[in-house]
Amino acid sequence: MPSPRLQADHARQEDRFTQARAAGDDLAKLRDRMLARTTELTRQARAGGVTPAEVRVLWLAP
């Protein structure tokens, strides 16, 4: 059985696509835009044009 975190992530993803469908968005076009953006970012990263992510942690007091 998948971990609770994986289940939550999967539920959020399903929710995003459900919302997109309900809004009448074309999921094939959305996929194509996401794929194009991924390709663009991959090229930038390989060329050294993307700055590394900065990790930030926020500790909330109970």
Determine phi and psi for 15, rounding to 5 degrees. -65, -40
Q: Give me the domain span that covers residue 27.
A: 4-45
Return the pLDDT at 36: 92
Return the pLDDT at 2: 63
Q: How many domains does the chain have?
A: 1
Q: Tell me if 33 is assigned to some domain.
A: yes
Q: Tell me if 15 is assigned to some domain.
A: yes
Q: Nearest-5° angle of CA 3, CA 21, CA 36? A: 80
Q: Which residues of the chain have pLDDT under 50?
A: none
Distance (Å, whole) CA 17 – CA 25: 9
Q: Tell me if 62 is assigned to some domain.
A: no
Q: Tell me if 58 is assigned to some domain.
A: no
Return the pLDDT at 57: 81
Q: Tell me if 52 is assigned to some domain.
A: no
Distance (Å, whole) CA 14 – CA 35: 18
